[in-house]
Amino acid sequence: MNIPALTNHKQNLIVFNTIIMKRILMLMSLSVLLTHTGCNSTHGHKEDADQFEVTSPLKKDTTLIREYVCQIHAIQHIELRALVKGYLQKIYVDEGQYVEKGQLMFQILPIQYQAELNKAQAEADYAEIEYQNTKILSDSNVVSPIQLALAKAKFEKAKAELVYAQTRMQFTEIRAPFSGLMDMFQVRLGSLLDEGDLLTTMSDISQLWVYFNVPEAEYLTYKQNLKKGDDLLQVNLKMANHQLYTYPGIVKTIEADFNNQTGTLAFRATFPNPDGLLRHGETGNVVLAEPIKDAIIIPQKATYEVLDQKYVFVVGKDNVIKAKRITIGAEMPDLYVVSEGLNANDKILLEGLRKVRENDTISYKFEDPEKVISHLKLHAE
């Protein structure tokens, strides 16, 4: 075996590996140096990289539109129930029909109650004759005053029983207590009814009561903005088809106590319904317009969020940006109304919020706030 040749081969391999490792280390060092140089050239200075869009808050009077889910109720909505027992003999109306006050709607078989009425009438007639006869005898001093008093009491009792029988007879006819719309029948012709059985429901939809809940903070704002001496708030109704109802409503009633579980207060608005379009039980949204004077308005896209707090980048002296926390007073599609943190003279970063960090120096192009907002989906009015 040639031992010296094998030893030289191993030595050459070790030298080759050493040269390769040195070159790899040189390349890695060069890469780190280039990366470090690149970072130093970009951090804290954005002028050579991008030109950012900057604008200012828009200060103007505007109207905030708030919507509240609501329930629509007829001004009167009642159940019609049988007041006496018997068979349902006749139905004079139909489901969904408009009926007038006093109109006959249902007839319960009156035979039993007619017989009771005839009996009560006969007993009242007999008691009256007996009383008149006793009175004649009493005037002639034939009978005592006590006997006359007993005859009179018997006559009065018979009259009371007659009135009761007449009332029960009237209960066999169910008439409309007010003008309104019939609902679905709960019984059918020929049904055996017991006293208190539900026949149908009935609604007076000439006016509607619309109930909605208002958060506590918004209620306080509403009361503070209400003009002195003006206790009525006008609202509109957005129907289920997203169309505005023709007639405005008036808030006439506010519940006395707050709901501590939901933090809201119940309002009731009254809407006219001359066309009969709305019905009891419908839903929709009450639309309330709240005027705001000298509102500070910014685009939503100019903000970012950290731990549930809203921030903007404000461009200061020497084009250095600073993060500033703001308080949102109201929200509209694409817009925020800022209650604290900004004024109309501030310059805020509009685009590229993810590309910068606080204390960066930027190059920017200023955009007029009116123009910026005009390109959004919703314009401040």
Q: Which long-range contacts (CB under 8 A, 24 or more apart) does 32-41 make?
A: none
Average pLDDT over residues 362-366: 90
Among 43-57, 60-74, 139-153, 301-315, whose mean pLDDT is lowest?
Answer: 43-57
Q: Which amino acid is at 281?
A: G
CA distances from 347 to 269, 319, 344 (A): 43, 10, 8
Q: Where are the beta strands (DSSP E) in the chain?
A: 51-55, 58-81, 86-91, 98-99, 104-108, 173-175, 180-182, 192-193, 198-215, 233-238, 249-254, 264-272, 283-299, 304-306, 309-315, 321-332, 335-340, 348-349, 363-366
What pLDDT band is residue 2 in, cutting at 50, 70 and 90? very low
pLDDT one-digit tens code per residue, 28-86: 544 443 343 344 434 455 544 578 999 999 998 888 888 999 999 999 999 999 999 99
For position 228, what pLDDT does the model report?
54
pLDDT at residue 98 in the model: 94
**Stretch 182-195: mean pLDDT:** 93
At 143 the pLDDT is 84
Q: What is the mean pLDDT of residues 130-134?
A: 91
pLDDT for 39 equals: 43
Percent of the chain residues topping a pLDDT of 90: 51
Would the pLDDT of 9 be above 70? no
Nearest to 296 by CA among 254, 338, 324, 265: 338
Residue 246, number of CB atoms within 10 A of its CB: 13
User: Which is higher by pLDDT, 14 or 240?
Assistant: 240
Question: Residue 47: its pLDDT value, please?
Answer: 47
What confidence category does residue 221 fall into, taking pLDDT thresholds of 50, 70 and 90?
confident
Domains and CATH numbers, the chain: 51-61+294-374 (2.40.420.20), 67-73+202-292 (2.40.30.170), 88-200 (1.10.287.470)
CA-based nearest residue to 210, from 231, 238, 183: 238
- pLDDT at site 28: 59
CB atoms within 10 A of CB 117: 19
- Report whether pLDDT(302) > 80: yes
What are 236-282's pLDDT values in tens digits?
999 999 999 999 999 988 888 888 888 899 999 999 999 999 999 99
For residue 1, pLDDT over 70 is answered with no
- Residues 301-308 have a mean pLDDT of 90
Distance CA 63, CA 367 (A): 24
What is the reported pLDDT for 27?
52
Across the chain, what does the average pLDDT equal? 84
In 3D space, the residue among 179, 291, 173, 286 whose CA is nearest the CA of residue 236 turns out to be 286
- What would the mean pLDDT of 86-92 be, rounded to a whole number? 94
Residue 230, pLDDT above cutoff 80? no
Q: Name the residue with higher pLDDT: 20 or 255.
A: 255
Which neighbouring-strand residues pair with 203?
Answer: 77, 181
For residues 195-215, average pLDDT: 94
pLDDT of residue 283: 94
Please tell me whether the overall predicted TM-score, pTM, comes out greater than 0.75 for this model: no
pLDDT category at 21 given cuts 50, 70, 90 is low
